[in-house]
Structure 1
Amino acid sequence: MSWSDIRREAAFVLRKKSVPLLLLAGFALSLFAVWTGTVEVAQQQTTIGRLLEGDKTDRQEVTHKHNDYGYIAYYTFHLTYAPPAPLAFAALGVRDVYPWKHRIRMLALEGQIHESDTQNPELALAGKIDFTFVIAVFAPLLLILLLHDLRAAERAAGRHDFLVVTARTPASLWPLRAGFIVLSLWLALSIPFVGGAVANSVPIGQMLLVSTVVLVYLLVWAAICYWVSRFNFAAPVLASLLLGGWLSTTFIVPAVGDVLIEQAYHGPEGGDILMTQREAVNGAWDLPHETTMDAFVASHPQWQGKTQTNSLFEWKWYYAFQQVGDEKALPLARAYQRVAEQRYAAAGWVALLSPAALLQRALTNWAQTDARAAWQYEREIRAFHADLREFYYPFLFNGTPYSAASLAERPQFTPNYNTQNYLERSQ
């Protein structure tokens, strides 16, 4: 193979009108996906910045208005959020399904978490057309259109045997054409991604990793197309075979897998947890204070002897039955999480049969936009809420006189990774 072979085959490929058009279509799809993903991430960053300012103002107003720990704990909201990672623009993942921001109070937590679990997941299955979706779904389709008639077109034109005989080496004909097409498509898809990655401050190592994975994914599909193109069939027949494989692995296998996983793993829904917690909290108003306090002390023995109440309403009793309501719903919440993790693990095995699903799973993991990232955010909420309770309980159960200065030690929510640069840029 020589440079003259490469120039000749490249010129031949580009003279076909369909090739530049398909490459342009790939570039346009990638550019659109990168642009919409960048806009979405920028909107989320702007929303977080705006909510942080509002949260600070709201907290100051509550502090100035009330001088009682119980009232301040009741009326003060605390913003929690999971900011988008730099790579999120390319793989939005489940951020449009799982909540990524909550305003938390020191009331029963399960209701605050699961009351937003109301979106119909069936309506979100299609997701958004981000860069990952373009690569996983559209890129194989473009490759099929570009490579299905690699040999069939030459056979139909009567040039196949002549080209084979006159080729300098076996690699200087079909592999060279296919390689040039794959490389051209990879560049058309990757150039917008690189631009978006630079604009979103993606680390260069992660940028190279994603670009390499995209190339490997294209090479896998190119190998399939190259192998099928060797069959002595007409181009439409070869295209039908490849499209059938693309449709099966990209849509049918994941859809059937989802149905089977849903049938295999059953558990409580978010609404069940919410109802159990609310019934426990609402029912506590009609119970003797001692019943609630006994249940509370069973899990918080450090407050033994400080749970007596002298009136019909006391804040320590109120927050105690909020805690007890959470504890009654806790088994359901744990079962809910366990089933979700089992389904996610099972979906990983199904993804081995679907290159598109496997690619999407990998990229959303790197972008911290998959289900595991959402669960990590929920664990952060729970830890922060526990810190809030640990902060207020000593004041409530010890009857400590109110001091505004003590609020300076109140816990502040911090995400699990530093996004200060992104938040500053969005403000």
Structure 2
Amino acid sequence: MSAWRHEWRLLLRARGAVAALLLLAVLSSVAVGLGLREVQRQHDTIARVAELQHQELAAQAPRLTRYGDAGTVAYYAFLTTWDPPSPAAYLALGLRDATPYVLRVRALALQSQLHEGETFNPELALAGRFDFAFVAVYLLPLFLIVLLHDLVSSERQSGRLALLRALPGAGRGLWLRRAVLRAGLATAALLLPAAAGAIVSGMPAGHLGLVAVAVLAYAACWIGLALWVGARDAGSVAHALVLMGAWVGLTLVLPTLGHAVLARSVPVGQGVALMLAQREAVHGAWDLSREATLARFFRSHPQWQHTAPLPAGFHWKWYYAFQQLGDEAVAPQVAAYREALMARQRATDGLGVALPGVGLQAVLHRIAGTDLGAQLAYQDAITAFHTRLREHHYPYLFDERRYGMDDFARLPRYAPPPARPQGPVGSLLALAALGGALLLAGARAAGRVR
């Protein structure tokens, strides 16, 4: 215990190290604060949109039901869906920056409504967001490099290394003690603001524990690397340059190259292409025989084939039949698109096995519920709600029943399904294994310091 107290006093005398720890705590606090503010802004937006929809539907009800026409109601009544942020979303906002979390839908073809929100300016998302994940993945290694790069070289350059090695308890234990103390304080400076944010947001303690384990495993990677480099017979500047090169390679260059390779090896189209294909199918139906269109619709929906023949001129049941056929026409493309997205996500998780920064991002995004799986789950919830909306209108359309105020009041209302976040077990185990291996290599190298 006296050895630890001695190392603590030495650390307090190092003003640069203390300043670095304080700065890291400040940056983590700012990132957590910005994340909490963004999550609250999204909650406020969802609440405001829900209230506006309530007012809009109340104002529309008398006008849309005046003539008892269900097709008019289905066409003009937009209903709001929303994807509320999880309590852990403040840690890593992920795809919530680039995909809509509020979407209004109606009983027309769905795919064009799902993907028209993808038309955003990509430059707005290029810089990313300053959140906890950014600080943990990119800035924590820099602070660990500052704190650990000269553990051995500073003693060698000052001429104290031989004396230290002659003292009891010197050797591997000394360097590990110093590294663990400094790195432990750095991770505490990073995690304490996150814990405060968890209390404010109501994040479960189990999720906070997973975040702590992931950050500690990531820190172990850089502790081991710093010990391994620091054990080499070179000066502090050389050690810092090598570690900075490793930071550039592991956090910037290799992830960028890896994602570029994945983009070429696992090509994924754009949702906008699905939207255009679906719209082409819908618009092309205007030039086709109405009876042939209904015959195609009845093959997949035989429960409505008893409907009366189409009268001359326009009829809503024909219109909504070819709207649904437009969705069914692109169903194979939708399935292929989603499978390609998931294949790329699995490949990215595999990349995280070798690159700790990618692995930590995968863990944080999954815990926060802001990864690809969460976005696809929101789309599935919208699809299920859209099916309920169609099933609500079809009896009025095909049985040609009058649609009144009471029927309008029974319009389906969206309710987000309970969140079921998938535990990042695989990514977390891979990150822990990588951190343990690098820490073991660094500890062995520290035992061979001369």
TM-score range, shorter chain: over 0.9
Question: Whole-Å Cα distance in 2 between the matches of residues 267 and 11 of structure 1?
Answer: 55
Counterpart contact for 2:107–2:390, Cα < 8 Å: yes
Of 9, 12, 22, the match for 2:10: 12
TM-score of the pair, normalised by structure 2: 0.89
1:423 equivalent in structure 2: none
Of 25, 39, 42, the match for 2:40: 42
Q: Deviations over 1:288-345 (max 9, x none)?
A: 2112212211211111131621131111111111111112222222222121111111
Counterpart contact for 2:32–2:132, Cα < 8 Å: yes
Counterpart contact for 2:214–2:363, Cα < 8 Å: no
- Give the drift of 1:142: 0.7
2:52 equivalent in structure 1: 54
Counterpart contact for 1:135–1:214, Cα < 8 Å: yes
Question: Whole-Å Cα distance in 2 between the matches of residues 222 and 183 of structure 1?
Answer: 10
1:424 equivalent in structure 2: none
Runs of 4+ off more than 4 Å: 120-123
Question: Whole-Å Cα distance in 2 between the matches of residues 110 and 119 of structure 1?
Answer: 17
Question: Whole-Å Cα distance in 2 between the matches of residues 379 and 148 of structure 1?
Answer: 49
2:64 equivalent in structure 1: 66
Counterpart of 1:363 in structure 2: which amino acid?
L
Question: Whole-Å Cα distance in 2 between the matches of residues 90 and 168 of structure 1?
Answer: 40
- Give the drift of 1:122: 6.8
Counterpart of 1:22 in structure 2: which amino acid?
A
- Give the drift of 1:271: 2.4
Match runs of 1:171-210 below 5 Å: 173-210=174-211
Counterpart of 1:245 in structure 2: which amino acid?
A
1:381 equivalent in structure 2: 382
Counterpart of 2:305 in structure 1: which amino acid?
Q
Question: Whole-Å Cα distance in 1 between the matches of residues 98 and 419 of structure 2?
Answer: 23
Of 20, 31, 34, the match for 1:33: 31
1:257 equivalent in structure 2: 258
2:294 equivalent in structure 1: 293
Q: Deviations over 1:182-232 (max 9, x none)?
A: 121122111111111111111122222212322232123112211221111
Match runs of 1:230-309 below 5 Å: 230-306=231-307, 308-309=309-310
TM-score of the pair, normalised by structure 1: 0.93
Question: Whole-Å Cα distance in 2 between the matches of residues 72 and 198 of structure 1?
Answer: 45
Secondary structure at the aligned position of 2:303 is classed as: helix
Over 3 Å counting, the alpha-carbon distance change for 1:192 and 1:9 in structure 2 is same
Question: Whole-Å Cα distance in 1 between the matches of residues 419 and 17 of structure 2?
Answer: 44
Match runs of 1:361-372 below 5 Å: 361-372=362-373
Match runs of 1:119-158 below 5 Å: 119=120, 121=122, 124-158=125-159
Question: Whole-Å Cα distance in 2 between the matches of residues 120 and 391 of structure 1?
Answer: 36
Deviates more, 1:380-389 or 1:61-70: 61-70
Secondary structure at the aligned position of 1:185 is classed as: helix
Question: Whole-Å Cα distance in 1 between the matches of residues 264 and 188 of structure 2?
Answer: 42
Question: Whole-Å Cα distance in 2 between the matches of residues 207 and 186 of structure 1?
Answer: 14
2:93 equivalent in structure 1: 92
Over the matched positions of the two proteins, sequence identity in percent amounts to 38
1:358 equivalent in structure 2: 359
Secondary structure at the aligned position of 2:104 is classed as: strand
Counterpart contact for 1:293–1:307, Cα < 8 Å: no
- Give the drift of 1:175: 1.8
Counterpart contact for 1:268–1:332, Cα < 8 Å: no
1:422 equivalent in structure 2: none
Question: Whole-Å Cα distance in 1 between the matches of residues 312 and 168 of structure 2?
Answer: 97
Secondary structure at the aligned position of 2:114 is classed as: helix
Question: Whole-Å Cα distance in 1 between the matches of residues 413 and 419 of structure 2?
Answer: 14
- Give the drift of 1:77: 0.9
- Give the drift of 1:172: 5.4
Counterpart contact for 1:307–1:317, Cα < 8 Å: no
Question: Whole-Å Cα distance in 2 between the matches of residues 217 and 307 of structure 1?
Answer: 67
- Give the drift of 1:56: 1.2
Q: Deviations over 1:13-46 (max 9, x none)?
A: 2211210111011111101100110010000000
Q: How many residues align?
A: 417
- Give the drift of 1:406: 2.8
Counterpart contact for 1:268–1:335, Cα < 8 Å: no
Over 3 Å counting, the alpha-carbon distance change for 1:90 and 1:275 in structure 2 is same
Secondary structure at the aligned position of 1:352 is classed as: helix
Could you list the runs of 5+ residues in structure 2 that have no partner in the other structure? Answer: 421-450
Secondary structure at the aligned position of 1:25 is classed as: helix
1:411 equivalent in structure 2: 412
Secondary structure at the aligned position of 1:87 is classed as: coil
Root-mean-square deviation (CA, aligned residues, Å) is 1.8
Counterpart contact for 2:164–2:170, Cα < 8 Å: no
Question: Whole-Å Cα distance in 2 between the matches of residues 190 and 276 of structure 1?
Answer: 47
Over 3 Å counting, the alpha-carbon distance change for 1:363 and 1:337 in structure 2 is same
Counterpart contact for 2:226–2:243, Cα < 8 Å: yes
Counterpart contact for 1:58–1:76, Cα < 8 Å: no
Counterpart of 2:183 in structure 1: which amino acid?
V
